[in-house]
């Protein structure tokens, strides 16, 4: 079974803080993704990465950055947290589509509250 | 502009009956479609997928139907069980969405199965 582990289930931070969300997968997947989920808005892609040290902007990258120093780890960084970044953050990983379409597998999510 | 639409925010079904969740898409370049199930405070779980070369895929109680001419897919759950109560997300992938597994998600449909 694919396992995607996010470092925290719940996190509370203050406005202006720098926040790190960590994600680790154990399936040697090349592709990793960060989403946020908000009520009525579905899942929105923040950033993704196809390989170590590679990153691409998703649909809503503003206020976020990412780091992929190792294949199994993909970090999401909130440079200066704001209240509108209160959300459920979801990490996912998948194999590359070069071997055929593959589903993304998600972690449990991190419920982040910015006060 | 929403490329993947789930027009019903919620659906209520009696236990033992059929649940039908619907999804429409606008981009004819999508060639892979997935359904995910999500419980509160957890990440989405991959349920079933279908390639555009098929019109039906079945896995136990879950069947996905694809109508390419109508750009419509549906998920049938038979028989529905109370444990199926969750939010269901439709997702699509293809050349437009990125060549390496990027998914475009609908906003979700909340299914309630009543005993």
The DSSP string of B54-113 is -SEEEETTEEEEEETTTTEEEEEESS--GGG-EEEEEEEEESTT-TTS--EE---EEEEE
**Nearest to residue A96, comparing CAs of A5, A47, A28, A22?**
A28
- % chain B with pLDDT above 90: 80
Reply yes or no on whether the pLDDT at B110 is more than 90: yes
Q: What is the DSSP string of A90-108?
A: EEEEE--GGGS----EE--
Per DSSP bridges, beta strands A64-70 and A73-78 are: antiparallel
State the average pLDDT over residues B29-45.
91
Q: What is the mean pLDDT of residues A51-56?
A: 90
pLDDT at A42: 87
Query: In this model, does residue A24 exceed pLDDT 60?
Result: yes
Per the listing, tokens 């049938």 go with B76
Per-residue DSSP letter, A75: E
- Closest to A23 in 3D by CA, of A45, A36, A38, A6: A6
Min Cα distance B53 → chain A (Å) is 12
Interface of A with B in 42-61 (CB under 8 A): 42-45, 48, 50
Query: Which strand (E) or helix (H) includes residue B75?
Result: strand B72-77
Question: Which of B102, B108, B109 is best to mutate for the A interface (most A CBs within 10 A)?
Answer: B102
Q: How many helices (H) and strands (E) does chain A have?
A: 0, 11
DSSP structural state of residue A4:
E
User: Which DSSP symbol is given to A86?
Assistant: -
Question: CB-based contact (8 Å) between B43 and chain A?
Answer: yes
**Residues within 8 A of B (CB atoms), A 79-108 only:** 90-92, 94-98, 101-108
Considering only residues A26 and B102, tell me which one the structure prediction assigns the higher pLDDT: A26
How far apart CA B29 and CA A34 sit, in angstroms, is: 24
Res B44: pLDDT? 94
Query: Which candidate in B29, B99, B100 is best for mutational testing of the A interface (most A CBs within 10 A)?
Result: B100
Q: So what's the pLDDT on residue B97?
A: 46
**CA torsion angle B110 B112 B113 B115 (round to 10):** 170
Q: Is a pLDDT exceeding 80 seen at residue B96?
A: no
- Considering CB atoms only, which of A44, A94, A109 is closest to B43? A109
């Amino acid at each position: 079974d694919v396992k995607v582990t996010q470092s925290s289930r719940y996190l509370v931070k203050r406005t202006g803080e720098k926040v790190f969300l960590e994600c680790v997968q154990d399936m040697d997947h090349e592709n990793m993704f960060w989403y946020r989920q908000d009520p009525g808005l579905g899942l929105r892609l923040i950033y993704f990465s196809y390989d170590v040290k590679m990153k691409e902007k998703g649909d809503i990258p503003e206020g976020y950055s990412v780091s992929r120093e190792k294949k199994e780890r993909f970090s999401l960084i909130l440079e200066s947290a704001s209240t509108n970044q209160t959300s459920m953050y979801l990490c996912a990983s998948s194999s590359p589509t070069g071997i055929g379409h593959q589903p993304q597998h998600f972690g449990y999510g991190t419920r982040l509250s910015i006060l | 502009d929403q490329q993947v639409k789930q027009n019903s925010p919620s659906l209520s079904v009696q236990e033992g009956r059929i649940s039908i969740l619907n999804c429409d898409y606008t981009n004819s370049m999508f060639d892979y479609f997935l359904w995910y199930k999500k419980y509160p405070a957890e990440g989405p779980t991959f349920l079933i997928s279908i390639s555009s070369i098929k019109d039906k895929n079945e896995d136990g109680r879950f069947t996905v139907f694809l109508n390419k001419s109508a750009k419509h897919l549906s998920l049938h759950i038979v028989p529905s069980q109370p444990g199926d109560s969750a939010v269901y997300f439709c997702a699509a992938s293809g050349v437009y969405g990125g060549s390496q597994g990027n998914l475009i998600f609908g906003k979700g449909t909340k299914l309630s199965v009543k005993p």
